[in-house]
Structure 1
Amino acid sequence: MELTEPTVWSTDRLELGEGLRWVDDRLVLVDLLAGRLLETDGDAPTPLRELRRLDVPLGAVAPVADRPGEWLAAAGTGVTVLPATGDPRPVAELVADAPEPTRMNDAVADPHGRFWAGSMTYAMVPGGGTLFRLTPGAEPVPAVTGLTIPNGPAFDATGTTMYLADTPRGEIDRFTVDPATGDLSGREPFLRLSPADGGPDGMTLDAADHLWIALWGGSAVRRYRPDGTLDREIRLPAKQPAGICLGGPDLRRLFIGTARVGLDSAGPQDGALLAVDVPVPGLPAARAGAPAS
């Protein structure tokens, strides 16, 4: 089936649909504040299936390389392994001792197996968020500090370019990534949005190195060229698109998670999982290196 317009992909309505990944021929996502890890098929609309339910917020997951069914998760105040069977296993405690109550938010693996996870304060204190880098066998590193609500990051196919959003500030910056170490350099402004546009939330790059951005509060997803010019906008029947990924058999189906949290009057599609077909394919989901046992 071809989807020429945004289509509701599930009858479920999520509080905060985030962390979308196309992994092993299925779509995986989280209902962040509810701590739920979910999956669904990509070839036809189907109800969401619950894989895990945690008692803490679950920001996002990445599949672990060479360990089928295992996930590395930004959850609660740190990073945790969700094995295929058995209980979650803590890997790193990152923000439990922060001066303000803080939780993990968006996260992703890069093409070199590192796991990048952002934190934010519950009160959305300006500067209270951090992007952490976790490399297998090494201590976690605060890679970018002074953020408010970090979202993404998104990496190109080589893992040498990273985009990072700070949602309430309307900012997306671009960094150069050392492929050997993960060290960041060359930070530059990529995009500055007005409040009327919505806040940049979930992001993904496609095979043409164009950046897709979910605009929280803007009822839209946009595609930007590498020079920062707008290429396309897709209007949505939901106010708060939060997470996106390109999936399906040919990676040309754009899946969009939305949210109903914080809305005084949620519309019928707020919190829905949406899908629309696009002409350029996405990139395969990167897998995180296995953490030390």
Structure 2
Amino acid sequence: MTDPHPLVWAPADHQLAEGARWVDGRLVHTDILTGRLFELPAGSRDRRELLSLDVPLGAVAPVAGRPGHWIAAAGTGIALLAPDGGVEWLARPEQDAATPARMNDGVCDPRGRFWAGSLAYDTTPGAGSLYRTDPDGSVHRVLSGLTIVNGPAFGPDARELFVADSAAGRILRVGLDEAGDPRETEVFAQVTEGEPDGMTVDTEGHLWVAVWGGGVIHRYAPDGTLVARLPVPVPQPTSVCLHPDQGLLFVTSAAIGLADPGLSGSLLALPVDARGLPATAYAAG
């Protein structure tokens, strides 16, 4: 697992690709700043645009029982997206932020609650928050005082959340009660060769983390030990997604801010000895 050979799975034309998830037999991901959502069917590199918003689109999750519908971390809040392009805003908690801010990465936990983080455009320290959207559509600030909130990731247990405070180089492990409120928070890992970005948990409970600025993917054991480093040919990997069956790790990347992007902005695939879990759907009430 230490010498993978990455494949370019989709072309290098994303500005800030993010939110890679395995949904209903296909890979979906966003290009945040252009507000676009893409899909690639299983075994295909034929990327298709599903929708486009006029605000940044951080990440999505499918809505249970509603094919083609998504819950999204978008613009300054959380929205439901319909196949016809309709947008229903559940809340815009960052709309009146003291410093202009946007939503970032997001994921559903095993109970169908949607979790998403935010950041100030100028990355003002402490301006980022983590939000939880419950099945009734209510949106709650769960953590505050962070800077660039990335990741949220769950294994099969909804009582343990992983989230990155990227600017601080920290990955936090948060114990949750039945309602989804924090019981305790601890530093799971400290990243020193870049900033932890998107992450996912494999079927063995290991955490995979894209390291922005490090050109590498980290794999951590459940106790926080770094057990593998996978170099990638892009300096700004942004999110990771494990195929549930085929031993592939998908990696999104960003070209923003690079004078010579090369492969940056492409979607990569790396052979790995691990499997992932399909994305959990939002359990809309």
Provide the TM-score with structure 2 as the length reference. 0.96
Deviations, residues 181-232 of structure 1 (Å, cap 9, x unaligned): 11111211111122xx110000000011000000001111110101111111
1:243 aligns with 2:239: yes
What is the match of residue 23 of structure 1? 23
Shift of 1:158: 1.6
Deviating beyond 6 angstroms after TM superposition, the runs of 4 or more aligned structure 1 residues are none
**Correspondence 1:42-121 to 2 at 5 A:** 42-44=42-44, 46-121=45-120
What is the match of residue 37 of structure 2? 37
In 2, the alpha carbon distance for the partners of 1:221 and 1:43 equals: 23
Partner-residue secondary structure (3-state), 1:9: strand
In 2, the alpha carbon distance for the partners of 1:72 and 1:138 equals: 10
Give the 3 Å change call, closer, same or farther, for CA 41–137 of structure 1 in structure 2.
closer
What is the match of residue 264 of structure 1? 259
RMSD, aligned CA: 1.5
Deviations, residues 73-108 of structure 1 (Å, cap 9, x unaligned): 011011111112241111111110111101111111
In 1, the alpha carbon distance for the partners of 2:79 and 2:62 equals: 12
In 2, the alpha carbon distance for the partners of 1:86 and 1:150 equals: 27
**Correspondence 1:55-204 to 2 at 5 A:** 55-137=54-136, 139-178=138-177, 180-194=178-192, 197-204=193-200
In 1, the alpha carbon distance for the partners of 2:276 and 2:11 equals: 25
In 2, the alpha carbon distance for the partners of 1:222 and 1:203 equals: 9
What is the percent sequence identity of the aligned residues?
47
- Unaligned segments of structure 2, at least 5 residues: none
What is the match of residue 279 of structure 1? 273
In 2, the alpha carbon distance for the partners of 1:239 and 1:86 equals: 34
Deviations, residues 54-81 of structure 1 (Å, cap 9, x unaligned): 1100010011111111100011011111
Provide the TM-score with structure 1 as the length reference. 0.93
> Number of matched residues?
283
In 1, the alpha carbon distance for the partners of 2:61 and 2:19 equals: 9
What is the match of residue 231 of structure 1? 227
In 1, the alpha carbon distance for the partners of 2:121 and 2:229 equals: 30
Report the AA paired with residue 112 of structure 2. Answer: G
